Amino acid sequence: MAQREDIRNVAIIAHVDHGKTTLVDNLLEQSSTLDERAKTSDRMMDSNDIERERGITILSKNTAVNYKGNRINILDTPGHADFGGEVERIMKMVDGVVLVVDAQEGTMPQTRFVLMKAFEAGVVPVVVVNKVDKPAARPLEVVDEVLELFIELGADDDQIEFPVIYASAMNGTSSLSPNPDKQESTMDYIFDAIMEYIPAPEDNGDQPLQFQVSMLDYNDYVGRIGVGRVFRGTISVGDQVTLNKLDGTKKNFRVTKLFGFLGLDRIEIDSATAGDIIAVSGFEDIFVGETVTDTEVQEALPPMHIDEPTLQMTFLTNNSPFAGREGQHVTSRKLEERLRYELHTDVSLRVDNTSSPDAWIVSGRGELHLSILIENMRREGYELQVSRPEVIIREIDGVRCEPFEAVQVDTPEEYQGAIIDSLNQRKGEMQNMENTGRGTTRLTYLVPARGLIGYPTQFMSMTHGYGILNHTFDSYKPEIKGQIGNRNHGALVSTETGKATTYGIMNVEERGTIFVEPGTEIYEGMIVGENAREGDLDVNIVKAKQLTNVRSANKDQTSVIKTPRKLTLEESLEFLDEDEYCEVTPENVRLRKAILNKNERAKAAKRKKKASEEQ
């Protein structure tokens, strides 16, 4: 079969923070694809506000550059395990990958995950060892680690003969030498490797059309847009085509617009042929994995396999005493519409109804995956409540199984004992322990996923911010009996409604850590801090100092309280216990008991205890 030698389709894959997006930015800039205005921005490919704030890629992006008369379609993928669903479907669109590996950190858990997905899709790898300018860079050792990983993942003979380019994406330099002093101010070595080693797409534009959707977008003017690759044939504006749905049904429609990609822009085009990555509009209800074909020859491509969710949370309408004060969208109908809308673009998400019309079980690939959804909804003006994250139990061959995570920890040597103890308490099983020779120890563990809920905050505290924790889904294994990783301390729960006072906080701050500052509006049943001991403690922090006509000896002394610990959304979700909710509004994130009244909570606890004793 003839090939389109003027095109290459390639994805950039890596562990989180190894420099994918910075590399793509430099490839765009050095290919002279961008105009001068676009060159002023860092992380140009991360267009989402949360992506820019957190410095991570969440959604896959596609772009194209011109290089020596050829077109290279580049897809920038997320590096975090929770967004692996994005990586999996991108593999269907490309013929090769550029694997970016940090010259100091080497191969990490997500490196294994993204590379495994690449091998499953049968694509050809090119390896870029990035950040060779780091003082502690060890590029040759890292290449050996990559080779070991290739062999471990069952790479074939062709895949093991991978080309290696050494680069510093931040500086826009690359070289074929591991010596950082021999870096050159060009990205041509990477472009040349892509053109030489990654196969060109087949030139079968004269055959019946096959276009598969891998990503979805939406535009107010043209409606829903399907982004994907033309695998066969040619598609033009005005064509009558057939959409082959995942459920087997078929719908005819007319192509209203076609878009190609160049740099950061989406450009209207008249037609596209096999090998092109394009965006198509004209249909109302297209979903990821569906195939657009000729109306005469309706041969659908196999649907994409996407790994199933491993974590779930209950999303509820906000019924706190402060409900409706701060959000625009507060009703169950609005909340359900927004969750269902997310399903149109997020293939790793599941939304299931419950027995209550005001609650839904939302399942995803991890805490970060779900917290990003909550944060997006909060910014869009939604009010909601969410429960504690729970792992999804599956029955495999009649055995109840739970998800396990592969955990890799880099910690200063003085903290390794505490880290080992904490992971052992969470039923972790040590796989490997090695001294990296830089005053740090690398620990590899297999840990039940529920043991990691809430662990990152504890880990950062134990290592005083110097530790690095990475984890990715490994497999489902038989469920471990008993509780794992539950909170060791109780909550400080408000008994009154009002505004927190300095006097009230002073009276209770010795009992634990306070989360709110004076002047914060509080309601009964709201969690205002963490108890220093086990069990919840009811407190009154809205209490005001009684004024009398007797002058006190210390009247003129200024009241001083400790700075409160302000929890982020992720920290709030990690803190939750099974009888608590996190209330999320555009302006605030609050923690509360599911049952607000103190007496009602006590009765519910008695009923629960009695029921467990009867069992």
Residues placed in the known binding site: 17-22, 130-133
Alpha-carbon distance of 94 to 123, in angstroms, equals: 7
The CA distance from 67 to 191, in Å, is: 8
Residue environment code for 206-221, b if the CB has 16+ CB neighbours within 10 A, otherwise e = eeebbbbbbbbbeeee
What pLDDT score does 52 carry?
Answer: 46
CATH class label, 210-293: mainly beta
Q: Name, in order, each residue with C-beta under 8 angstroms of 159's C-beta and a sequence gap of 6 or more.
A: 119, 124, 125, 150
Instruction: Determine contact, residues 209/294, Cβ cutoff 8 Å.
Output: yes
The answer for residues whose C-beta is within 8 angstroms of residue 274's C-beta and 6 or more apart is 4, 201, 202, 203, 204, 205, 207, 230, 231, 232, 233, 234
CATH topology of domain 395-478: Alpha-Beta Plaits (3.30.70)
CATH of domain 487-547+561-566: 2.40.50.250
pLDDT of residue 615: 64
Q: Classify 7-197 by CATH class.
A: alpha beta
pTM score > 0.85 for this model? no
Closest-CA residue to 120 (of 154, 162, 144): 154
The tens digit of pLDDT for each residue in 217-274 reads 766 677 778 889 999 999 999 999 999 988 888 999 899 889 998 877 788 999 999 9
Token pair, residue 268, equals 């209207």
Distance from C-alpha of 370 to C-alpha of 310, rounded to nearest angstrom? 11
3-state secondary structure 581-607: EEEECCCCEEEEECCCCHHHHHHHHHH
Taking alpha carbons only, the member of 87, 62, 114 closest to residue 306 is 87
Residues of the chain whose pLDDT is less than 50? 35-41, 43-48, 51-60, 556
Q: Which two tokens stand for residue 80?
A: 């975090």
Question: How far apart, in whole angstroms, are the C-alpha atoms of residue 257 and residue 259?
Answer: 7
pLDDT of residue 44: 46
Residue type, 306: I
* 3-state class (DSSP) for residue 151: helix
Give the residue extent of every domain in the chain.
Answer: 7-197, 210-293, 307-393+567-614, 395-478, 487-547+561-566
Find tokens 């139990």 and name the residue. Answer: 393
CA–CA distance, 605 with 535 (Å, rounded to integer): 12
3.50.50.60, 3.30.365.10, 3.30.70.870, 3.60.21.10: CATH of 307-393+567-614:
3.30.70.870
Asked, colleague to colleague, whether 307-393+567-614 and 395-478 share their fold, the answer is yes
Binding site residue list for GTP: 17-22, 130-133
Q: Which residue has tokens 């497999």?
A: 475
Of 485, 458, 482, the C-alpha closest to 469 is 458
- What pLDDT, on a 0 to 100 scale, did the predictor assign at position 58? 40
What residues does 165 pair with on adjacent strands? Answer: 128
- How far is it, in rounded angstroms, from Cα 187 to Cα 171? 10
